[in-house]
C-alpha cells in the first residue's frame, strides 16, 4: 500500500476477508475514483484456513462469488478465475455448483493479488476516534491502527467512510477456555498440524457443519484413535438447501426482511434457521453414519456419538484434559479423559462495538440495545456525525439471515459503494449529508 496515502481516505475498511475484498472490487469497478485503504490484522488473506479440510465443500454456489451478482461481466468473477487458471471446461464437467473450500480460497487469493496495494496486513484497528478538539459536523473519523508485529508502531488514519467487516467471533462452551489441548474449530488445522503428542482419544463438541467435518477428518487422519462426537441434539440435523428455502439468501430477501414486521422477521428465523445454523450437509451426515456402520461391521468401533450431551467443564490432568460431560437424557454428569477436545461450538455474530471506540455514543440503538442500521448498511448516527460507518456483518437483526454469509457479498458491496459515492457527491455539491470537501 502507498505508505504515505492521501490525508483523508474516502473509504477505509477494517478487516480484509471476503466481505471487504468484495468491497475493494466494487470500489474499483465504480466509475468514480475513490481513495481507499484496508487494514487486516493477519499477515495475509486467510479465509477460515483452520477449516480448509481436504475435501470440504462450499455451502454456496460458485456464482455467489465476490462480484457476479453485482456485475456478471466482472473480471473478478469465479468464472474469470477458472478461465485464467485454465480449468473452466473441466470445472463445468464436474457438474457441481459447489467447489471445495480450498479452491474457493485459491480464487480469493487470485482476486486479492490485484488489490494488494490497497491492503496493509499485520495491522489491527483498535478503535475509531474523534479528532482532538473536533467540532460538529464531524466529516471524518480517525482510526487507531496498531502494527501486530512485536513492538509495532501505532498510527492514526483519517477516513470519511469506514466499513467494518471484522467477521464472526469464535464461541467456546460456557466456562471453557482454549489452550494447547482444548481447541476451537476455527484454529483446528493449525493446532492439529503442530500437535506433536500422540492422539489416542479425541472428542469433538458440536452439532454443526464444522463439528461433523472434523469428526470425519479425525476418523481418517487417526486410524487408531477413538473419536467421540459430543452432540447436544439427538443426532445431526440436515441443512435445508432446497430451492424455496434457499430464497432466504436472495438479494430481494434482504428487502423483505428489512421492511418486514417483527412477526415476519421472526418467521424468517423460525422457519429458515435450518438453512445455515447448527445444521450439516446431508452428504456429510450420511458419510459419518456409514463410517460408524462399517466400523461396527468390521468389529473396530471407534467412532462414538454421545447424543443429548454437552460439555459442562474442562480441567487439565497431567497430560490429559478431563472433560465433564452432562447427559440431558439421564440428567447426569460424568468425566472422560482425552488427549484433545475440539470445540466446534460455533461463532457469535460480528460485534462492531469492539472497534467503535469514541464514535460508539454517536451510534443510535434500539430498545433492545442493538445498533440501528439503515438499508444501505450504514449505521444510523446522531446529527453532527457525517462520517459514514457501514457494516458488513452484525446486521442479522436488520438485514436477516445472510448477514454473515457469502451469498450477498457482491450486491451488498455494490450498495455500500453507491451509498458512499452518492454521499461524497452530495458533499461536493454542497449538500449537508456528504463528506467530501
Ligand atoms: C469454516 C467456515 C466455512 C464457511 N463456509 C461458508 C460458505 O460455504 N458459504 C457462506 O456463505 N458462508 C460460509 N461461512 C461464513 C463466513 O462468515 C463467510 O464465509 C465469510 O468468512 C464472511 O466474510 P467476512 O469478510 O465478513 O469475515 P471473515 O472472513 O471472518 O474476515 C474478517 C477479517 O477481519 C479481520 N479482522 C477482525 N478484526 C480486525 C481488526 N480489529 N482490525 C483488522 N482486521 C480485523 C480478521 O482477521 C479477518 O481476516 C463459513 C464460515 C466458516 C467458519
Q: How far apart are the first and last CA of the chain?
A: 24
Å from CA of 207 to ligand 1 middle:
20
Instruction: Output the pLDDT for position 334.
Output: 97
d(CA 85, CA 80): 8
Residue nearest to atom 18 of ligand 1 (CA): 405
Pocket test for ligand 1, best of 279, 405, 407 (most atoms within 8 A of CB): 405
How wide is the angle at C-alpha 190 spanned by C-alphas 184 and 195, nearest 5°?
95
Pocket test for ligand 1, best of 49, 127, 406 (most atoms within 8 A of CB): 406
Residue nearest to atom 12 of ligand 1 (CA): 405
Helices 209-221/282-298 angle, 10° precision: 40
Taking residue 232's Cβ as centre, other Cβ atoms within 10 Å add up to 18
Å from CA of 67 to ligand 1 middle:
17
Residues of the chain with pLDDT under 50: 1-3, 432-437
Q: Where in the chain is the domain with CATH 3.50.50.60?
A: 11-168+349-428, 172-239+277-346
Residue nearest to atom 50 of ligand 1 (CA): 405
The pocket around ligand 1, CB under 6 angstroms, is made up of 14-20, 39-42, 46-48, 51, 58-60, 124-125, 165-168, 210, 355, 392-393, 404-407
Fold of 11-168+349-428: FAD/NAD(P)-binding domain (3.50.50)
According to CATH, what is the number of the domain 172-239+277-346? 3.50.50.60
Å from CA of 18 to ligand 1 middle:
7
Query: Is the N-terminal amide bond of 11 cis, ω within 30° of 0?
Result: no
d(CA 55, CA 57): 6
Among 436, 404, 408, smallest CA distance to 423 is for: 436
Residue nearest to atom 37 of ligand 1 (CA): 166
99 by DSSP, 3-state: which? coil
d(CA 118, CA 116): 5
Amino acid at each position: 500500500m502507498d505508505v504515505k496515502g492521501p490525508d483523508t481516505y474516502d473509504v477505509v475498511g477494517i478487516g480484509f476477508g471476503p466481505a471487504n475484498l468484495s468491497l475493494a472490487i466494487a470500489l474499483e469497478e465504480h466509475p468514480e475514483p475513490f481513495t481507499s485503504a484496508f487494514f487486516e490484522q493477519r499477515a495475509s488473506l486467510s479465509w477460515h484456513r483452520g477449516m480448509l479440510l481436504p475435501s470440504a465443500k462450499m455451502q454456496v454456489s460458485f456464482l455467489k462469488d465476490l462480484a457476479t451478482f453485482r456485475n456478471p461481466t466482472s473480471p473478478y468473477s469465479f468464472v474469470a478465475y477458472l478461465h485464467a487458471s485454465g480449468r473452466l471446461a473441466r470445472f463445468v464437467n464436474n457438474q457441481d455448483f459447489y467447489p471445495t473450500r480450498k479452491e474457493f480460497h485459491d480464487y480469493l487469493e487470485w482476486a486479492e493479488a490485484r488489490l494488494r496495494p490497497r491492503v496493509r496486513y499485520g495491522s489491527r484497528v483498535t478503535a475509531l476516534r474523534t479528532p482532538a478538539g473536533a467540532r460538529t459536523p464531524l466529516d471524518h473519523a480517525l482510526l487507531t491502527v496498531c502494527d501486530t508485529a512485536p513492538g509495532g508502531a501505532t498510527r492514526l488514519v483519517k477516513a470519511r467512510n469506514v466499513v467494518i467487516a471484522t467477521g464472526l467471533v469464535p464461541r467456546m462452551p460456557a466456562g471453557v477456555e482454549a489452550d494447547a489441548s482444548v481447541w476451537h474449530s476455527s484454529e483446528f488445522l493449525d493446532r492439529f498440524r503442530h500437535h506433536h503428542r500422540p492422539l489416542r482419544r479425541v472428542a469433538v463438541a458440536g452439532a454443526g457443519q464444522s463439528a461433523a467435518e472434523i469428526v470425519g477428518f479425525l476418523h481418517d487422519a487417526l486410524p487408531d484413535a477413538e473419536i467421540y462426537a459430543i452432540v447436544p441434539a439427538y443426532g445431526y440435523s440436515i441443512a435445508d438447501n432446497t430451492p424455496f428455502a434457499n430464497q432466504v439468501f436472495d438479494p430481494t430477501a434482504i428487502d423483505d426482511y428489512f421492511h418486514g414486521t417483527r412477526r415476519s422477521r421472526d418467521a424468517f428465523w423460525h422457519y429458515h434457521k435450518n438453512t445455515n445454523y447448527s445444521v450439516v450437509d446431508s452428504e456429510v451426515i450420511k458419510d459419518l453414519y456409514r463410517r460408524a456402520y462399517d466400523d461396527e461391521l468390521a468389529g473396530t468401533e471407534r467412532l462414538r456419538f454421545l447424543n443429548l450431551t454437552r460439555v459442562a467443564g474442562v480441567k487439565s490432568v497431567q497430560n490429559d484434559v478431563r472433560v465433564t460431560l452432562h447427559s440431558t437424557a439421564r440428567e447426569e454428569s460424568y468425566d472422560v479423559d482425552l488427549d484433545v477436545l475440539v470445540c466446534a461450538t460455533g461463532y457469535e455474530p460480528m460485534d462492531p462495538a469492539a472497534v467503535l471506540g469514541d464514535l460508539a455514543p454517536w451510534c443510535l440503538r434500539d430498545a433492545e440495545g442493538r445498533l440501528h442500521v439503515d438499508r444501505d448498511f450504514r449505521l444510523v448516527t446522531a446529527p453532527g456525525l457525517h462520517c459514514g460507518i457501514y457494516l458488513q456483518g452484525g446486521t442479522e437483526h436488520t438485514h436477516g439471515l445472510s448477514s454473515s454469509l457469502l451469498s450477498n457479498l457482491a450486491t451488498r458491496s455494490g450498495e455500500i459503494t453507491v451509498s458512499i459515492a452518492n454521499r461524497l457527491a452530495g458533499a461536493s455539491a454542497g449538500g449537508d449529508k456528504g463528506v467530501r470537501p
